[in-house]
């Protein structure tokens, strides 16, 4: 019996090593860890995500409270001409670049504990520092409040002595849309533009006209259009959803900086990215488009917990360092 048990252990160790090796090689797509995370998110997140805004905010607050204190990073707040922001710095490097970051949350929520941790990882990998802007949220502060806050914070950053060629813009989800809107406003106001742009699953079409809204509805583990539709109306306020500073997909992109776009292939907002990349390219913008076929909304934010997100972190860091 002892011999049988030892042989069984050898077989199990060999099988585990083979599976781990296959995952590291990238042959298994999606990775085993991604399959597990995707299943957990589908099982626990989407069915419990409430439609009412106040319940959404309470739900996200609960998620943040569940993060163990040892994993929470202390905020490093700064007042940017009246706009609350946070610095996120690499631990050992003296940065020569700064990334002006606008967080996601459908324009109505925020999850600073998670964004702080994600940006800390990006800062370490890219050796850049990040300025996360705590812009005002709808419905209490509809458009153009968030855009105004972003413009004021960017002016403050320039006043601190950072040259435009040292600055990149970045944002995820609604923050990606707001990032584009800020760039468009800066260009139209004839103000200096940053050296590059990073967009993760940007929400660029608040009208919901992309085919992926319905095509991928059953596969999306995180988002539902019912929730997003209400958030869009709250954010737009009295302005039409087609306004190019609300839905940047409908804008003219001439003159914007080089752009990196990352999007998951299993999210209802995928067409917001693919159509954006096409239109920006047609307008002469240098666009690097990354579609990770089996991933979900803002998949890089889970850090290095799976190979796909780890690859995205490296792609973002490389882009920052090349700008």
CB 260 within 8 A of CB 315: yes
DSSP string covering 1-21: -HHHHHHHHHHHHHHHHHHHH
Catalytic residue, candidates 31, 34, 126, 173:
173
Residue 267 a catalytic site member: yes
- 78 strand-pairing partners: 85
Which residues of 90-240 form beta strands (DSSP E)? 98-102, 129-133, 167-172, 196-200
Catalytic residue, candidates 126, 247, 297, 308:
297
Give the tokens for residue 115: 């964004």
Alpha carbons 2 and 19: distance in angstroms, whole number: 26
Catalytic residue, candidates 125, 267, 292, 308:
267
Residue 256, classed as helix, strand or coil, is: coil
CB 155 within 8 A of CB 164: no
* Cβ neighbours, 10 Å, residue 276: 27
Alpha carbons 279 and 207: distance in angstroms, whole number: 17
Alpha carbons 283 and 280: distance in angstroms, whole number: 5
Residue 297 a catalytic site member: yes
Alpha carbons 198 and 89: distance in angstroms, whole number: 18
Burial class (CB in 10 A: 0-12, 13-18, 19+), 209: middle
Alpha carbons 316 and 198: distance in angstroms, whole number: 7
Alpha carbons 223 and 137: distance in angstroms, whole number: 19
Residue 80, classed as helix, strand or coil, is: strand
List Cα–Cα distances, 70 to 85, 90, 149, in angstroms. 23, 18, 32
CB 207 within 8 A of CB 233: no
- Give catalytic residues, as residue numbers: 173, 267, 297
């Amino acid at each position: 019996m002892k011999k049988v048990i030892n042989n069984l252990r050898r077989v199990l160790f060999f099988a585990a090593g083979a599976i781990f090796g296959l995952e590291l090689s990238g042959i298994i797509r999606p990775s085993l860890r991604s399959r597990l995370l995707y299943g957990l998110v589908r099982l626990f997140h989407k069915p419990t995500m409430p439609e009412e805004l106040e319940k959404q905010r309470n739900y996200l607050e609960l998620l943040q409270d569940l993060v163990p204190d040892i994993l929470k990073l202390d905020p490093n707040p700064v007042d940017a001409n009246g706009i609350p922001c946070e610095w996120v710095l690499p631990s050992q490097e003296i940065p020569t670049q700064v990334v002006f970051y606008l967080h996601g949350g459908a324009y109505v929520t925020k999850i600073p504990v998670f964004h702080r941790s994600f940006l800390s990882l990006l800062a370490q990998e890219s050796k850049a520092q990040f300025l996360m802007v705590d812009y005002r949220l709808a419905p209490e502060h509809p458009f153009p409040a968030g855009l105004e806050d972003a413009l004021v914070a960017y002016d403050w950053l320039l006043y601190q002595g950072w040259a435009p060629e040292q600055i990149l813009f970045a944002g995820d989800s609604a923050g990606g849309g707001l990032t584009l809107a800020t760039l468009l406003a800066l260009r139209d106001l004839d103000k200096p533009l940053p050296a590059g742009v990073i967009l993760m699953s940007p929400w660029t079409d608040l009208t919901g006209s992309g085919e992926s809204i319905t095509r991928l509805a059953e596969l999306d583990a995180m988002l539902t259009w019912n929730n997003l539709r209400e958030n869009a109306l709250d954010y737009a306020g009295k302005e039409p959803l087609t306004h190019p500073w609300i839905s940047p997909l409908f804008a003219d992109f001439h003159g914007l900086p080089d752009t990196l776009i990352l999007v998951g292939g299993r999210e209802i907002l995928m067409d917001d990215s693919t159509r954006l990349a096409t239109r920006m390219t047609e307008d002469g913008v240098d666009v690097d488009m990354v579609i990770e076929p089996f991933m979900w909304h803002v998949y890089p934010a889970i850090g290095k917990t799976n190979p796909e997100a780890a690859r995205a972190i490296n792609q973002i860091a490389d882009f920052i360092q090349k700008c």
